[in-house]
Amino acid sequence: MNAQTNPNPPEHPSETPLEIDRGFTYRVTIASLIIGVLLAAVAALIVFSLTRPVTFDEQGQVNWSVGAILFPVAAIFVGSILFWSVFGLPLRVARRRGVILDPEVYPWTGAVLIGALFGGGFVLAMILGII
């Protein structure tokens, strides 16, 4: 066999040069946000179904229960899922694809999309009379 060998093999053979891709950054950020919204909606429905209103006895004392504090717990849980989906998941996908997310658009794109999502949800809740 007359196979040529590289006298200086790369440290990790699977390493390839990474490149910045702006279009991929937008696509992966939006797709990750959609995944996060779906996961957060499922988690919110499950946790909100367990909530119970705060009740009072005859003397006006509050009867505490685990279900009474699940609303803030659900809000923290949903916020954590959305944070992960916008700031963690795109990085993981990009690393597996061998692409660097465009640093000029990556972090703020997700933040603007979440802000628009919450702002739109707030306006929709006001129009529907929920708030």
pLDDT in tens, 28-61: 999 999 999 999 999 988 887 877 777 778 888 8
Report pLDDT for 30: 92
In degrees rounded to 5, what are phi and psi of residue 89?
-60, -45
Report pLDDT for 40: 92
| pTM greater than 0.85 | no
Integer Cα distance of 69 and 85 in angstroms: 25
3-state secondary structure labels for all residues of 105-127: CHHHHHHHHHHHHHHHHHHHHHH
pLDDT in tens, 67-122: 777 878 888 989 899 999 998 999 999 889 888 888 888 888 888 988 898 899 88
